[in-house]
Structure 1
Amino acid sequence: MFKMIALFKKPEDPEGFDDYYFGTHMPLTEKIPGLRKTEVTKFTGSPMGESPYYLMCEMYYDSKEAFKEASKTDESKASGKDVMKFAGHLVTFMFGEDVNG
């Protein structure tokens, strides 16, 4: 599987971020054609103490090609535009392949 990972730094207003992220942004994201599943992790710390990251979302696709096709859709464009609107200064994106199958 191929995945897109969004890492979010800690927002100034975590409660407001959560309300928007789970109430508005995730419903947009979950409409993306070809998106197989999402996994969201809230960080509680690190071995060095507080983590610089607040939240991670992993978005799974069947393959890199499936991700590329999904990225062309209106739903994907809407999700991307939305995340940049409310968290563009907080988010870092990465791509990866799930080596566990």
Structure 2
Amino acid sequence: MAKLVVLYNKPADVAAFDAHYFNKHVPLAKTIPGLRSYEVNDGPVGTPQGPAPYHLVAILTFDSMAAIGAAFASKEGQATAGDLANFAQAGAQLLMLETREI
């Protein structure tokens, strides 16, 4: 399996971010070919030292890194990536990684 982890920085307007993210971005992202699961944090994001600088963490699961590449290359993936500018003005970090159970 492979994961795409998106760390969204805390926005200036949380309500506007959440409205766009859950009403527009998520439905768009759920059309991406090869997407197996889509999870987000439920509550504040923290660290052992206290609050994290992130408002939202999204974890998208795919079969492989190649599937993530194909997802980004698709028209649905391009539309989803292009939508970031509409709500994530505070910035976001995208991490892609292969996973294995141990």
- Whether the TM-score (by the shorter chain) exceeds 0.5 is yes
Q: Does 1:62 align with 2:63?
A: yes
Residue 48 (1) aligns with residue 42 (2): no
Spell out, residue by residue over 1:65-101, the C-alpha distance to the aligned partner (whole angstroms, 9 max, x if none). 1111122111000000001332154211111122228
Q: Which residue of 2 aligns with 1:73?
A: 74
For residues 31 and 87 of structure 1, the distance between their equivalents in structure 2, rounded to whole angstroms, comes to 20
The one-letter code of the counterpart of 2:33 is P
Tell me how many residue pairs correspond in the alignment: 101
Percent identity over paired residues: 36
Question: 2:7–2:58: 8 Å Cα contact kept in structure 1?
Answer: yes
SS across alignment from 1:87: coil
Please report the RMSD computed on the Cα atoms of aligned residues, expressed in angstroms: 1.6
Q: Which amino acid aligns with 1:22?
A: F
Runs of 4+ in 1 over 3 A off after TM superposition: none
TM-score (norm. length: structure 2): 0.88
Q: Which runs of 5+ in 1 are unaligned?
A: none
1:95 and 1:29 mapped to 2: Cα distance? Answer: 16
* Other structure's SS at 1:58 match: strand
Query: Is residue 32 of structure 2 the alignment partner of residue 32 of structure 1?
Result: yes
Query: TM-score, with normalisation over the residues of structure 1?
Result: 0.89
1:52 maps to a residue whose letter is: P
Q: Extract unaligned runs of 5+ from structure 2.
A: none
| CA 1:75–1:50: 2 relative to 1, 3 Å | same
Distance 1:59 1:45 in 2: 20
